[in-house]
Amino acid sequence: MNQEVLLAEQINHTIDLLRFEFKSLRTQLEHSDRLAARRLEALESSQRDQEMRLRQVQDAAVQFKVLAGLATGGGLISVFALLKALLYP
């Protein structure tokens, strides 16, 4: 009878250890999920910022080309270039 009680206590202790291990693994998994979500948000934000900067640079380059064309070319060709830049970005 004493051995049965000891065996039952050992089994209960083992079950408690397994529950603790599962809880620990679940906590680690939740932490990893939150970390991955934050990294993804940061990457998406960085991508949006980079796309916005590229658009701004492209717009500035188009404006420079138009102004440079107007300044150097003059005349009817410059007006066509300006209209083209405004109507067909």
Mean pLDDT of 7-21: 95
Interval 31-76: pLDDT, tens: 999 999 999 999 999 999 999 999 999 988 888 887 776 677 666 6
Q: What is the dihedral of CA 9, 10, 15, 18, to 10 degrees?
A: 150
* Cα separation, 61 vs 85, whole angstroms: 11
* Cα separation, 1 vs 33, whole angstroms: 48
Predicted TM-score (pTM) of the model is 0.55
- Name the strand (E) or helix (H) holding 3: helix 2-73
- Count CA atoms within 13 Å of residue 4 on its CB side: 1
